[in-house]
Structure 1
Amino acid sequence: MKTFIATALAVGLLSASQIAFAAPAPQTVNIVVNADGLDLARASDMRRLRNRIADAAAEACDPSDRMIVTPMPDYQCRRAAVASVEPMVQELAQAARSGRMARR
């Protein structure tokens, strides 16, 4: 039986500073990543969830409305953001595989 989660995964993303020398400490941003329709016991759905997380990290780290000092994407910020939620993703996947995932 497939376990679908209809909940959203709240992702705390760290946004790196945009100006190297004049910026204050990194900013914490919370983004919601939807996991509707995904069965986290399946590898293909785990890839979909990770893709959604990567897309959210890209938007948080390189928002389209920011004043861009350099046109290069902030890959360091993206990696840090994705890494910060990986333990939560692993926990959700383990719960789905063991059948402990609650349905909504």
Structure 2
Amino acid sequence: MIVARYALSDPGKAAERSRLLEEHKAYLHGAAIRILLSGPSAPPAEGKGSTALVIAEVETLAEFEAFSAGDPFVRSGVYGSVDIFEWRPSFGLLRKNL
């Protein structure tokens, strides 16, 4: 199954985000799940949180939820909100590689 995590950073946690950035990246790179795409949005407007997206292939939604819960950004509250959902891509150039 393909899953996606859409996360919005808490603008009040910018210093914490900077402090944990390398740990967060290492966590993603060392993932036991198959991450298809991951990355942040363009820099946000002043006072707004940045967004980030992770798209992965996993056996179950629970597997991805457990992975997400271990992310340093999630554990520390850098993300003000995190939405995780099954995604069913049906069209596009990348679709044939899934």
TM bin (shorter chain): 0.3 to 0.5
TM norm structure 1: 0.37
**The structure with more radius of gyration:** 1
Higher strand share: 2
TM norm structure 2: 0.38
Higher relative contact order (CA 8 A, sep 6+): 2
